[in-house]
Amino acid sequence: MKKKQNIEHTQLLVLSLLSNEDMYGYQMIVELARRSDHTFEMKEGTLYPVLHGLEKDGYVEAYQQEAPTGRMRKYYHLTRKGGAMLKTETEAWESYAGAVNAVLRSSTGLTMA
Amino acid sequence: MTRREYTDQVLSGLRRLTGPEREAVRAELDAHMEDHICDLLDLGYDEELAEERTMQRMGDPEEVSRELNKQYPMRWLILKWAAMALTAALVLMLLTRVEWGVVKENLMTRFWPSQWYTYEETYEFLNGDDTDIRVEIGATTVRVCAARVTEIQPGTNWAELFPGDRYLAVVVVRPYRTSLLELGRAPGGGILPFLANRTTGPLRGIKPGIICCP
C-alpha cells in the first residue's frame, strides 16, 4: 500500500453509515448488522469510544434531539472533514481490496466474478 | 448486571472526563440499552431476559471505559483546573486587595527564604539593606523588606518617640502570613514597643524602630 491506513475499519464503516443521514448509536448498530447481513456485529458498547474519537478529531459532530418516545438522543452528523476522510479512505480501501483480489486470483487460478 | 451497574462501571474508569461529560456518557449508553431492551420486548422477550441479553451484547464495561477514557486528552482537564485555580486566585486577590508582588514575595519567603534570622540575631543585619529575611517576634512573624540606620530629625514622630537619641535603626517589615487572606494587613501595634526595648548588641546606643507597611 502506498499510504498507511489512517483510520480503523470500524471508523470507516461509521463514517460511511453517516454519509446518508444523521444517526444515533443504537441505530448505527442495527443498520450495520442489517447492511452487512449480520457480518458486522460488534460489542455494542465499544461503538461509543469510536464515535467519541471521531468527534474529538472533528470527523463527526453530535447534537441532542428528542425521540418520539420523549427520550433525548445523541445524533451524530458527518462533517466536511469527515466526508473528505471517508472519500480518501474508501479509495484506499478499494485499492487495497482490489490488490488482495488480484493476488488471490493469480494464486488460486480461479476466475473471480 | 443491571443497566445502572453497567453504566456505573463504565463511568468509574472515566477519570479524564468532567462531570457533565460523564453524565452525557451515562445518558447515551442508557438510551442505547433502553432501545435494545425495547426491541427485544417487541420480539416477545420477557423483561429480565431482554435486559440480560442486552448486557451481553454491550460487551465488557471495563474495556468500553478504558477506550472511552483514551478519547479524552488529559491536557484539557489540566488546563481547565489551571484556569479555574487562576481565576479563583484572581478573584480572591481582587476581593482582598492583595497585590501580586506581595503574594509572590511572601510565598518566596515562605518556601525559599534566602536567609533566616531569629529575633536575637536581628541586630546583625540592621546595618545593611538586606531583604527577604524572615523574623519571628513573639507570636508574630514578619518579613523584613529593608533595614537601615537613620538620623532622627528634630520635630518628627521618631524624635518624640525616642527623646534624646540621635540615631535610629529602622526596620521595614511586612507581615508574614501563611494564609493569602491575611496578607497585606499590618501586624498589631505590639511590635514597635517590643523592638524599641532592645538596646543591646552591636548597635548599642542606637534605638531600633520599626515601620510596618501594609
Tell me, what CATH number does A24's domain have?
1.10.10.10
Domain that holds residue A97: 9-105
d(CA B210, CA B208): 7
What residues in B contact A45, CB-CB < 8 Å? Answer: 10, 29, 58-61, 63-64
Q: Does residue A4 lie within any of the structural domains?
A: no
Average pLDDT value for residue range B118-147: 51
Q: Does residue A48 lie within any of the structural domains?
A: yes
Contacts 24+ apart (CB under 8 A), A103-109: none
Q: Does residue A30 lie within any of the structural domains?
A: yes
Q: Does residue A1 lie within any of the structural domains?
A: no
Cα angle for residues B150, B151, B153 (degrees, 5° grid): 125
| Helix (H/G/I), strand (E/B), else coil: B16 | coil
Quote the ipTM score: 0.84
Could you tell me which chain B residue has the CA closest to the CA of A24? B32
Average pLDDT value for residue range A77-92: 95
What is the per-residue pLDDT for A109? 58
* Interface check B181 vs A, CB under 8 A: no
- Examine the pLDDT at A102 and tell me if it is beyond 70: yes
What is the per-residue pLDDT for B208? 44
What residues in B contact A76, CB-CB < 8 Å? Answer: none
Q: Which residue has the higher pLDDT, B121 or A42?
A: A42
Mutation to test the B interface, candidates A52, A56, A72, most B Cβ within 10 Å? A52
Q: Does residue A90 lie within any of the structural domains?
A: yes
CA-nearest of A112, A110, A97, A65 to A1 is A97
The answer to whether the Cβ–Cβ distance between B71 and A74 falls below 8 Å is no
What is the per-residue pLDDT for B168? 64
The answer to whether the Cβ–Cβ distance between B29 and A49 falls below 8 Å is no
Give the closest-approach CA distance of A36 to chain B in angstroms: 17
Q: Is the pTM of this model over 0.80?
A: no
Q: Does residue A31 lie within any of the structural domains?
A: yes
d(CA B49, CA B42): 13
Residue A3 — pLDDT band, cuts 50, 70, 90?
A: very low
Q: Which of A2-6, A9-13, B100-104 has the lowest mean pLDDT?
A: A2-6
What is the per-residue pLDDT for A46? 93
**C-alpha cell recorded at residue B107:** 510565598
Percent of chain A clearing pLDDT 90 (strictly above) = 65
Tell me which residues of chain B, numbers 15 to 54, contact chain A at a CB-CB cutoff of 8 Å.
24-25, 27-29, 31-32, 34-36
Q: Does residue A111 lie within any of the structural domains?
A: no
Give the closest-approach CA distance of A45 to chain B in angstroms: 5
Q: Which residue ranges make up each domain of chain B?
A: 3-72, 102-212
B166 CB-near residues (< 8 Å, 6+ apart):
B151, B152
Helix (H) or strand (E) holding A51: helix A47-56
Domain count, chain A: 1
What is the per-residue pLDDT for A90? 93
Average pLDDT value for residue range A69-77: 87
Give the closest-approach CA distance of B49 to chain A in angstroms: 17
What residues in A contact B57, CB-CB < 8 Å? Answer: 43-44
The answer to whether the Cβ–Cβ distance between A44 and B36 falls below 8 Å is yes
CA-nearest of A31, A5, A8 to A20 is A31
B10 CB-near residues (< 8 Å, 6+ apart):
A45, B25, B26, B29, B61, B64, B65, B68
Mean pLDDT of chain B: 69
CA-nearest of A57, A8, A50 to A29 is A50
Q: How many residues does chain B have?
A: 214
Given A25, A49, A72, which is nearest B32 (Cβ)? A25
Percent of chain A clearing pLDDT 70 (strictly above) = 88
Average pLDDT value for residue range B46-67: 93
